[in-house]
Amino acid sequence: MSDGLDEPRISLNENLRRLGSAPLFRPSEAWRYSLSIDVLGAVVEEASGKALPQTVAELVTQPLGMRDTAFWAKQPTRLATPYYDSKPAPARMADPQSIPFGEGVRLTYSPSRALDPKAYPSGGAGMVGTAPDLMRLFEAIRTGGKPILSAAMAASMMRNQIGSLIGPRPGVGFGFGGAVVVDPAAAHTPESEGTWQWGGVYGHIWFVDPAQKLTVVAFTNTALEGLWGKFTTDLRDVVYESVK
């Protein structure tokens, strides 16, 4: 099955058929990050009766004025060059490019996927855009959801939805659109309780701290330093030091 990063010649429905063969945890047994957002993308298609890119454009990116965000690069000449961690300096990605991702796991990247409208629309990994566009989205959610969500739905996006289960790390749960800090001390973070955060494997991170009225987005185009390297904690710490 595909994770939306490579360039398979299969449809979204075929990928979901393959995904359906994977085993699941019993409800409330454990939490694991997964390809569930790809499944939700297919649900949106069925509910709307339209292709996922059209629905996302009509309901999210157009109302917010996110002109550069779509499932394929609208202006290919503006697409940033992707890099990956290497010594003594980051190296330019090949196409495809295999990169270690945790113990015993590798990710296969196909940067050209962002230029191929025939690639299936991956709800979890398939979009490209800009930092200002993403800031528009997060600020809309942080400030109450208008014009895309009700206040109640926007609040639920930033609330832990997995109860006492451990999320990506101790002190962190998970919501409808990313991780949520539930115990800053256990998470070893200066972020406030309720901070909403996540990132992407091409090397970007973001966090939204409602208590501090703070939204931060960083695009590095370097995998995986820009997702979970020292850069990410250095950026977080200097932001909170400046807030103090």
| Domain boundaries of the chain, sorted by first residue | 1-128, 130-244
Residue type, 60: V
Q: What is the pLDDT of residue 23?
A: 86
Instruction: Please give the chain's pLDDT, 244 residues, in tens.
Output: 899 999 888 998 999 999 999 888 888 888 988 899 999 999 999 999 999 999 999 999 999 999 999 999 989 999 999 999 999 999 999 999 999 998 888 999 999 999 999 999 999 998 999 999 999 999 999 999 999 999 999 999 999 999 999 999 999 999 998 999 999 999 999 999 999 999 999 999 999 999 999 999 999 999 999 999 999 999 999 999 999 8
Q: What is the pLDDT of residue 221?
A: 96
Q: What is the pLDDT of residue 24?
A: 85
CA distance linking residue 85 with residue 226, whole number of Å: 9
- Specify whether the CB–CB gap between 129 and 70 falls below 8 A: yes
- Specify whether the CB–CB gap between 1 and 16 falls below 8 A: no
CA distance linking residue 79 with residue 37, whole number of Å: 24
CA distance linking residue 19 with residue 49, whole number of Å: 22
